[in-house]
Amino acid sequence: MSNTSTKVALVAACVAIAGIGAYWHYSPYLAIKQMRTAAEQKDADTFNAHVDYPRLRESFKGQVAAMMTERMASAGSSSGGLEGLGAALGLALINPLIDAMVRPEMVMHSMQEGKFKPLPGISKEPTNANTSEPAKEPKWEYERKGSDKLIAYAVDPEGKEDARIGVVFERSGFANWKLTEIRLPAK
């Protein structure tokens, strides 16, 4: 092998390694883009390929249970125990409620809106469908936690910091990313 062909092979190998490294680094952003495109096109199969629904449901169950436990603790004996009884009953209903809520259409809607709430028509809040104003697409900020976790925060266009959700992606394999958690806004 000549000196020139060795240099060409070395440059080609370096370019290939740099390309693979760049793909590995930017793969979570590509996965998010694919999910958002699938949500807009209502392509559930492509969207679902990037979601770990069992882990997502467990995440919600833990967050809701923590909120209910906090309410039970704060209710104490100030309401004669009725509020605590209601919260305890709510804790018993968490699992079936979360299982019913965390469905592909609900998760796709939260990715489009940057909020986790019932679909339009189910919610009692007015939606942009009743007005001539187009829906505002959320802006996303990204925070990388090591090499295997990325958190995308939906930034509220009105600037309410406590109203943003966090969407957590974890690496599954070389460059495959899965949505594993949606962090509800602090209230």
In the block, residue with structure tokens 């699992």: 95
Higher pLDDT, 92 or 76: 92
Other C-beta atoms lying within 10 Å of the C-beta of residue 41? 11
Residue 116 in contact with residue 108, Cβ under 8 Å? no
Model pLDDT, residue 178: 94
Cβ contacts of 137 within 8 Å, gap of 6 or more = 112, 114
In terms of C-beta density within 10 A (0-12 exposed, 13-18 middle, 19 or more buried), how is residue 126 classed? exposed
d(CA 180, CA 59) in angstroms, rounded, equals: 8
Predicted confidence (pLDDT) per residue in 128-169, tens digit: 444 445 556 667 889 999 889 999 988 766 665 556 678 899
Class of the domain covering 1-50+136-187: alpha beta
Per the DSSP assignment, residues forming a β-bridge with 144 are 150
Torsion angle, alpha carbons of 98, 45, 150, 25, to 10: 170
Closest among 169, 70, 125 to 183, alpha carbons compared? 169
**Where exactly are the structural domains of the chain?**
1-50+136-187
Model pLDDT, residue 121: 42
- Tell me the range of 59-68, 91-100, 107-116, 173-182 where mean pLDDT is highest: 173-182
Helix (H, G, I), strand (E, B) or coil at 50: coil
pLDDT at 186 over 70: no
Residue 152 in contact with residue 26, Cβ under 8 Å? no
Angle at the Cα of 65 from the Cα atoms of 114 and 80, rounded to 5 degrees: 120
Band of the pLDDT at 187, cuts 50, 70, 90? low
Band of the pLDDT at 173, cuts 50, 70, 90? confident
Model pLDDT, residue 29: 93
**Helix (H) and strand (E) counts for the chain?**
5, 4
Predicted confidence (pLDDT) per residue in 34-81, tens digit: 988 888 888 888 999 999 999 998 988 888 888 777 777 776 655 556
Q: Residue 2 CA to chain centroid, in angstroms? A: 53
Tell me the whole-structure pTM to 2 decimals: 0.71
Residue 123 in contact with residue 131, Cβ under 8 Å? no
Phi, psi of 143 (to 5 degrees): -135, 120
d(CA 32, CA 151) in angstroms, rounded, equals: 11
Predicted confidence (pLDDT) per residue in 10-32, tens digit: 999 999 999 999 999 999 999 99
